[in-house]
Amino acid sequence: MSPLHLCLALSAALFCTGLVAVLIRGNAILVLLGVELMLNAANLNFLAFWRFGPGGGEAGLVFVLFSIAVAAAEAAVGMALVIAVHRHLRSIRIADANRLKG
C-alpha cells in the first residue's frame, strides 16, 4: 500500500462517514457538520494527488485553500439558516421541516 493509496482510503472513509452523518442523523447541525466532513475528504483527495500524483504544479494546493474558505462560508450560512428555522419551528430536527411536501 503506497501513501497515495492510504490517503485515498482515508478520504473514502471520511467521505462515507460524512455521508452517513447526513443521511442518518436527524439533527440539522450534525447534517451540516457531516457536509463539512465530506468537503474535508475532498480536500484530502486533492492534496493526496498533489503530493503523490504525476506532474508538478500547485493547482491542487491552491484549490484546497479556496475550498476551505468556501466551505467555511457555507458552514456559516448554513448555521445561520438553522438558527432562523429554529426560531420558527422551535426545533432543529430535520424531520420537522417538512412543509414542502406533496
Partner 1 sequence: MTTLLAVLALICLAPAVAAVLVRNLIHSALLFVLAWLGLAAFYLALGAEFVAFAQALVYVGGVSMVALFAVLLTRPGRTDLLPPPSAARAVGGLAAASLVASMLASSLFWSRLPSMEPTAPIPLRRLGELLAGPYLVAVLLVGLILTVALIGGLLLAAPRRPAEGGDA
Partner 2 sequence: MLHASHLWLIPALPLLAAAVGAAAPRTARRLPVALALGAIIGSFLLSLAALAGALAAPAAKLTANFTWFWAGSTAVRLGWLLDPLGALMSVLVCGVSVLVFIFSTAYLRDDPRLGRFFTCLSLFVAAMLGLLVANSLLLLLVCWELVGLASYLLIGFWFERPAAAAAAKKAFITTRLGDLGFLLGLLWLFHATGSSLFYDGGAGVLEGGALERLAATTLPGGWTAATGIGLLLFAGAVGKSGQFPLHVWLPDAMEGPTPVSALIHAATMVAAGVFLVARVFPLMAADQGLGGVPVHALTAVAVIGSVTALLGALLAVAQTDIKRVLAYSTVSQLGYMMLAVGVGAWEAAVFHLITHACFKALLFLGSGSVIHAAHHEQDARRLGGLATRMRFTYVTFLLGTGALIGLPLVFSGFWSKEAVLHAAELWPVSHLPFLAGLAGVVLTAFYMTRLVSETFLGRARGDGAAHAHESPRAMTLPLAVLAVASVAAGWIGTPAWPWLQSQLTGAPVAAHGLAEGLGLMILSTVLVGAGIAAGGWMYARSPRADDRAPDPLARRFPGVFAALAARLWIDEFYAATVGRLLRGAAALAAWLERWVWGGLVSLTGRVAETTGEVNRAIDEDGLNTGFDRASDGLRDAAQRYSRAQTGEVQGYLRAVVVGLAVLALLLVWGGVR
Determine the straight-line distance between the first and last CA of the chain, rounded to whole angstroms.
Answer: 50
Q: Is 94 among the residues that bind partner 2 (CB under 8 A)? A: yes
Q: Which residue has the cell 466551505?
A: 71
Q: Is 88 among the residues that bind partner 2 (CB under 8 A)? A: no
List, in order, residues 6 or more apart from 29 with CB less than 8 Å away: 79, 82, 92
CA distance 72 to 35: 11
Least distance from C-beta 68 to partner 2, angstroms? 23
The smaller minimum CB distance to partner 1, of residues 34 and 101, is found at: 34
- In the region spanning residues 16 to 35, those forming contacts with partner 2, defined by CB under 8 A, are 19, 22-24, 26, 31
Stretch that binds partner 2, among 46-54, 56-64, 79-87, 91-99 (CB under 8 A): 91-99
